[in-house]
Structure 1
Amino acid sequence: MKKILFAASECVPFVKTGGLADVVGSLPQYFDKEQYDVRVVIPKYLCIPDKYRSQMEYVNHFYMYFNGRNRYVGVLKLEYAGITYYFVDNEEYYSGPTPYSDHFYDLEKFSFFSKAVLSILPSLDFHPDIIHCHDWHTGLIPVYLKNEFAADPFYPSIKAIMTIHNLRFQGTWNIEDIKHMTGLPDYLFTPDKLEAYKDANFLKGGIVYADYVTTVSETYVEEIKTPFFGEKLDKLLWARSNCFCGILNGIDYREYDPANDDKIYQKFDTKNFRKEKVKNKIALQSELGLEVSAKTMLIGIVSRMTDQKGFDLIERVMEEMLCSDSIQFAVLGTGDWHYEEMFRRFAAHFPGKISANICYSEQLSHRIYAGSDAFLMPSLFEPCGLSQLMALRYGTLPIVRETGGLKDTVEPYNEFANTGTGFSFANYNAHEMMASVRYAEQVYYDGKRRWNQMVERAMKKDFSWETSAKKYETLYDSL
């Protein structure tokens, strides 16, 4: 039995701010349970719902020296959906209303978490063969493991994997403060270890000291070895090429299943979508105040509203498309105030053609995936992306830019071979994006039979976690 411990800052269903939580919460459930004992450790945030906090069992507590004094470390556990979850407790660090707060304070509390994860292991009756670390919040785990904890005979056999979910977020601060906070020795803060451009860098430390590095799509692996996408770590990632790979994320096909989804208006599958999927569109149009029309093409957008997600491209041409094209938009998300106001303004100027829902709603997101005809996702960069996978699952054809996981998961339509599962464009250009939207419109209105064939192909694609889990199992075995 191989023992794997996932370490992360968030995990569904306990706490979620983004796709990282979906990965950490879903992936462990799909490993072969006869061969792999996969468990998860996260901080015990006060913002975890009481229905989960009340079920946690006390395991142990002790005091750990960190940032100048001994600090309390509590350990609790909870069995949920067949997985054992551990929670590191310290109310000084994890009692805030949200998992993240001030950047420097986040660096301190996740430095504490990284050291605490290793410190709690002897008390768990669980000796992991591999600690699988996710993003910069756990970047110091490999650093502590291969340095401060290396002299203890409990630890040297443990391997570490560092998974990069988004290279842009690295956890950086000035060296002197981080050195004092973490207690790590001077020799670690050099350009070949934790130092990057005169700052201490948590993610870099994880990449340097991990036994293997992964990221969340095959294309993103190659992109982040280049200066444009590499966020100043491209040379380091090139240096680690012999132990660096991309494993595509998946989605939970039990949660995102149009045939059994109670959040949508009308359930459907690959056999009856031609008649049943449109009922979701009509109901969604009615709910959102759009002009009710089964024939009008409806494009969904569910996203954080940031430049990374391509909203500057949308801003350039949205008015032109709303004025000239026979399409509607259903928009859901929050983010930069500028883009939130942009969609509110368009919704006010084009009533019946665009609905701006500036909020977070799990139920409405499912309804947009199920009710839309197409899904717009023109990202500047996208390590993997989950929204396009959800759209494919519901037969809503993605219109994406060819980058990262979007390129790996959306096959562009080929009218000559009648293949593809969506539409794509290569250059980060607003009018190239608009041309792809209009090409999709042309196929939707003038080639409905081919459109439906594409919908069926999209719904039959397998981006479930089973596929990803098998690749991780191969990686674990190799280590």
Structure 2
Amino acid sequence: MKKILFAASESVPFIKTGGLADVIGSLPKYFDKEEYDVRVVLPKYMCIPENYRSEMEYISHFYMYYNGRNRYVGILKYELNGIPYYFIDNEEYFSGPTPYSDHFYDLEKFGFFSKAVLSILPSIDFQPDIIHCHDWHTGLIPVYLRSLFAADLFYTSMRSIMTIHNLRFQGTWNIEDIKRMTGLPDYLFTPDKLEAYKDANYLKGGIVYADYVTTVSESYVEEVKTPFYGEKLDKLLWARSNNFFGILNGIDYDEFNPADDPALYQNFTVSDFRKKKKKNKTELQKELGLTVDPHMMMIGIVSRMTDQKGFDLIQRVLEELMTDEFQLVVLGTGEWSYEEMFKHFAEKYPCKVSANLFYSEAFSHKIYAACDAFLMPSLFEPCGLSQLIALRYGTVPIVRETGGLKDTVVPYNEYENTGTGFSFRNYNAHEMMKIIRYAESVYYDNRRRWNQLVERGMKQDFSWNVSAKKYEKLYDQLT
């Protein structure tokens, strides 16, 4: 049996700030338990809900030298869905009200976490074949494995995989501080190792020292080898091409299931969505004070409001789009200017626009189920989960052709009657507007074709089953 340890900074249901938590909370369940012993290690944040913290089992503790002194490392365990989760306890580092805070402090605590992940392994009697590291927070694990821990026979056979969920966030700071903090030797801080543009870079360290590097869609693998998407690491990623793979994220089909989702006004399936899906729309219209009309097209957005997500394109043409016959339902928070934009339009067009400037998981499910189309005009999107959820709930994605959006949404072809959504290529507001209006025309003028689009989308399989098989193949190659 192959032993795999996932190391990450967050995971549902314990702590979540973004899509990374969904991946860590879902993917381990889908491996073949006869072949793979998969476990997960996380920081024990004080902001993890009390009902989980109170049921964690104490395993052991010890002291580890880090940043100039011996520091407490507690080990706790919690089993969920047959997966053992280990939590590294240190109140000095993990007692804040949120998992992330000041950037320098985050670098210090995730440096500690990376060293502690390796240090706890003898205490939990687990000698993984592969440590699967996720994003910059765990970037130093492959570095420690091949430097300070390399002489210990317990660690010599271990391999590591570094998965990049978002290349924009790399964990960088000046070399002297990182060297002092982490205790890593001088020879590691050179341009072919951890140094990047005169700073130390955690993610770069992980990319250099991991045996394999992966990211979360096949298109994003190719994009990040170019200067535009590569965030100054494109040459390094190009150099690692032979060991750099794209494996698409999935979604948990048990959690996202319109047939039995308790958040919905009306459950539905691919066989009865034509009758039942519209009930979700009319009930949401009533709840939000929009004009109640089952035939009016409704477009949804569930997102962080940032430039990365294409909100500058929406800002450019939203006034012009308000002359069209559709309703817009928005859920999320982010940059002040975008929040103000949606507030303004919701006040100006109260029957057409609903701005919900907060986040609620249950409410997001209502939007996915109620809307006819879902807008994601991202500047870049390593994978994207929202378009996968939208397809699952019979809501047609309108996306820009980038990263995982390009890999998962097949553009509608009216001549062959194929496709699962609508897409545009260039990062251009009027090109986006044109494709939205094309989607409107299909919705209003050819409802039969629209329903066939919905049906094809709902029949797609973007569950973790598919992705887990690809990871298993990668693990087999590495071991």
Settle same-fold status: TM greater than 0.5: yes
Aligned to 1:358: 357
- Unaligned 5+ segments in structure 2 are none
Q: Within 1, Cα distance between the matches of 2:166 and 2:365?
A: 24
Q: CA deviation at 1:337?
A: 1.1
**Structural mapping, 1:50-449, within 5 Å:** 50-322=50-322, 324-449=323-448
Is residue 458 of structure 1 aligned with residue 457 of structure 2?
yes
How far has the Cα of 1:236 moved from its partner?
0.1
Q: Which amino acid aligns with 1:456?
A: E
**For residue 237 of structure 2, what is the amino acid of its counterpart?**
L
Letter in 1 for 2:361: E
What is the number of residues matched between the two proteins?
478
Return the alpha-carbon distance in structure 2 between the equivalents of residues 127 and 55 of structure 1.
Answer: 25
Amino acid at match of 1:48: I
1:473 alignment counterpart:
472
d(CA) in 2 for partners of 1:466, 1:277: 26
- Partner of 2:31 in structure 1? 31
What residue in structure 2 maps to residue 12 of structure 1?
12
Distance apart, 1:291 and its partner CA: 0.7
Letter in 2 for 1:110: F
Instruction: Please give the alpha-carbon distance, in whole angstroms, between the structure 1 residues aligned to 2:178 and 2:291.
Output: 56
**What do residues 189-233 of structure 1 show as CA deviations (whole Å, max 9, x unaligned)?**
000000000000000000000000000000000000000000000
Specify every segment of 5 or more residues in structure 1 that has no aligned partner in the other structure, as ranges.
none
- Distance in 1 of aligned mates of 2:207 and 2:295: 51
User: Deviation digits for residues 228-259 of structure 1, max 9, x if unmatched?
Assistant: 00000000000000000000000000000000
Deviation at 1:126, TM superposition (A): 1.1
Aligned-partner SS, 1:122: coil
Show structure 1 runs of 4+ deviating over 3 A: none
Q: CA RMSD in A?
A: 0.4
User: How big is the shift at 1:434?
Assistant: 0.4
How many angstroms apart in 2 are the aligned matches of 1:233 and 1:252? 31
1:259-293 deviation line (CA, Å, top 9, x unaligned): 01010100000110000000000011111111110
Cα shift at 1:34 = 0.4
Any idea what SS the aligned residue of 2:122 has? Answer: helix
Deviations 1:362-400 (A, max 9, x none): 111000000000000000000000000000000100000
Query: What is the rounded CA distance, in whole Å, between the counterparts of 1:109 and 1:340 in structure 2?
Result: 32
Percent of matched pairs sharing the same residue: 78
State which drifts further: 17-26 or 336-345. 336-345
1:300 aligned counterpart, secondary structure: strand
What SS does the corresponding residue of 1:317 show, helix, strand or coil?
Answer: helix
TM normalised by structure 1 equals 1.00
Alpha-carbon distance, 1:16 to partner: 0.1
SS in 1 for 2:265: coil
SS at match of 2:121: helix
> Using the alignment, how far apart are the partners of 2:319 and 2:284 within structure 1?
22
Distance 2:164 2:122 in 1: 27
Paired residue secondary structure (1:259): coil
Deviations 1:448-474 (A, max 9, x none): 000000100000000000000000000
Shift of 1:338: 1.1
